[in-house]
Structure 1
């Protein structure tokens, strides 16, 4: 730990620097890392719908291959809590900075390797096995990334502006999504790929899909450069100076903060369910064959639908800073209660908004924009809320476990359940599924205490 950190100050004082590091560098480091991490995650999500069913899970009918591909997509969410435990241990023991570098490398290397993997037609069942392994490693990396970036932002924030500072890493989600889907759009257009009738011998499925995975290496190097120039956060440095580190953060967090773990997990549930319905599932539904063609989808051309998603994600990005400001102004709890109530109402509109009869670009864009707007509003304050629930000595571990356990309950199964519901009972039931998840989050928020004025130097249950 650098001696440049002044552990005598009780809180960052609102100046242009924190522990000798320009505040602008902290903003960039917290945001660029999550942008890279979410870029890596989203290129897999996009490929899980448009590439992997053809190249890694080709046997059986189209729906079976899609569900198998989405299952490997969900595998990373199983790994994420394990990643939060692994990286949380080191984050609470040796510091935020070093651990953030490790999480970025773990996910970046796994993503790059996916771009080099042989397909099922080349090596048989070993191909999906290797894909699943790399997907698991992606999950481990992201499991440690988010909580570290959130702590970097919150533990260096100005007084009274923690939610605003914490929204910067949250902006990494729409930025990463925009970069990933934008790149896939450019490649599919350039290589003339039609997802509705894919050419297995065409340039896109032969080599073009690998480009976004391989290009991630450049982004990882940029992220490493920025993060290696950081210092440790003052809040963690003060905890070390007071001798408040614990030997086993995992045991300590379950001993002293088990209630916060449960509340934090369900507070995140609606956010995760909404996001992966609005990104992964809706892509497969929007580009799927219509009932007239023997399917249950909306029949959009793949590139047309990507354009709609890219426009909608701008609403996501715009809503994140708004929600950060609202959470500082009115409090985390009341802000999220209102937003979660609106998500429940949104769930009731699925049957009407996604009715295939007369479905056009305008109605689909309105649906995507509303969903992404609500996503930005609920996602923005989370990197302040979850860290504020936990004491300093287990904050990395606790916030990471809550965040990533919610990923299993709300995201890992969301595309799979939504696909099954839409196929078996209609798209209206996908909205009911979202409503139920939001209702559980609403209850958790009612139980949760307000954390806006909570000191991050507090240690103890």
Structure 2
């Protein structure tokens, strides 16, 4: 089957959409259930001897440390994804994430095995980071490279939908555990483990679904022609390092605000500082995830109509406008204020997340595309999301107010907007292997012709 046949086959498109959404939902459920638990119970269960304040910082630090291993996961998955294919890496990363998550649910606490407990927790979190670093690139390329040129924005939003869905699932199940199944001390004793153990069921479902999809037509053509790079990462950084930095800053602008919610900080702030009920806050977070889902989906459609860059600029303008009001709403508006703040956050996040997959896929040449999108995404996650909850907690404890946090979020949004202006919109560019010269030139205002000549075979 040719690439064009695959692209125009509605059944294949539906299968790919379903597989990428389900797979990324499971991956990010696993990732977010950790962040949710870190904000609620890990300080007590694994870091209690350090004291409450330091224990919370250490708990949020384990959320961030895993991000430092995302680039390694992206390097490995990118290398083999550009060498042996997108689909194989999707299956491997899914299994790795699920196993690490399930083992966290079986982990003894500090009270049971002492210092070994936080050490093992950190090791398993690192495995989650490796998996997350490699999963996203494969999922988005499977979606975008199968799609017609005029539908790449919405096709690229499919795997993006797995992030708010994973957050919704993580928040919803945790709310069910804290409010119904294991309220109070029961959640602290055993209820927190259940969401982690559920990963075993989800991983089986995801494995079966992802095994059914066909390989990306772009990679199939690359392999047929023998045009894979021996070491794609080397080519990426030798010829496209500035592109990696700019595109990473774009995602960092989204992630810094995003991890205020998904990283657990806003939940903890609403519960411990504003004294809102835990289950009520988790339900509000679930509603925010629903809004994030629909804003991400809408942004994918917008990206096909008004372009990737324009959609991003609207999103960053909204982010910059809300970073001060959201904390005022949470601090003064009670539970309704929290809902309103989460709606504002989730809407802006969708606008700066929905078009990301299509834009990333269109700015990197085919033979290094998996490496490019994966590593760039991982670096952006470190710059924007890794330690954002911990930084926010430190700023809150140091200054006693949220003004410094809002300033931090505003700076990240402005940097993301500036980086967006430095990239060119590449909507509709051919993604196939025989178009690498065009793909390698013009992604930014700084691209040199020498890059295009290397990919076209000219010296």
Same fold per TM (> 0.5)?
A: yes
Structural RMSD (CA): 1.4
Q: Distance in 2 between matches of 1:351 and 1:108?
A: 34
Residues 1:265 and 2:241 are matched in the alignment: no
Residues 1:234 and 2:208 are matched in the alignment: no
Higher percent of residues as helix: 2
Other-structure match for 1:372: 346
Residues 1:303 and 2:287 are matched in the alignment: no
CA contact (8 A) 1:278 1:372 kept: no
CA contact (8 A) 1:298 1:359 kept: no
Of residues 381, 392, 417, the one that matches 2:366 is: 392
Q: Distance in 1 between matches of 2:242 and 2:225?
A: 25
CA contact (8 A) 1:349 1:428 kept: no
Residues 1:440 and 2:423 are matched in the alignment: no
Give the Å deviation of 1:6.
Answer: 2.2
Of residues 312, 320, 333, the one that matches 1:359 is: 333
Other-structure match for 1:6: 2
Give the Å deviation of 1:350.
Answer: 4.0
Deviation track 1:203-248 (CA, whole Å, cap 9, x = no partner) reads 2222211111111111111111011112211111112222210111
Deviation track 1:252-300 (CA, whole Å, cap 9, x = no partner) reads 1112222221111011011111110133210111111xxxxxxxx1111
Of residues 318, 321, 340, the one that matches 1:342 is: 318
Q: Distance in 1 between matches of 2:114 and 2:314?
A: 50
CA contact (8 A) 1:270 1:437 kept: yes
Deviation track 1:36-92 (CA, whole Å, cap 9, x = no partner) reads 011001110111011211110011331111101111111110111110001111100
Q: Distance in 1 between matches of 2:300 and 2:85?
A: 26
Q: Distance in 2 between matches of 1:175 and 1:152?
A: 19
Give the Å deviation of 1:348.
Answer: 3.0
- Give the structure-1-normalised TM-score: 0.91
Other-structure match for 1:459: 436
CA contact (8 A) 2:149 2:428 kept: no
Q: Distance in 1 between matches of 2:326 and 2:124?
A: 34
Of residues 189, 192, 195, the one that matches 1:209 is: 192
Q: Distance in 1 between matches of 2:229 and 2:371?
A: 12
Deviation track 1:111-162 (CA, whole Å, cap 9, x = no partner) reads 1110111111111100000000000000000111111100010010023000
Residues 1:48 and 2:38 are matched in the alignment: yes
Q: Distance in 2 between matches of 1:249 and 1:341?
A: 35
Q: Distance in 2 between matches of 1:193 and 1:412?
A: 30
Q: Distance in 2 between matches of 1:189 and 1:89?
A: 44
Deviation track 1:418-458 (CA, whole Å, cap 9, x = no partner) reads 11112222112211111100111111111101111222123
Other-structure match for 1:222: 205
Query: How many residue pairs were aligned?
Result: 434
The runs of 5 or more residues in structure 2 that have no matched partner are 441-459
Other-structure match for 1:294: none
Other-structure match for 2:450: none
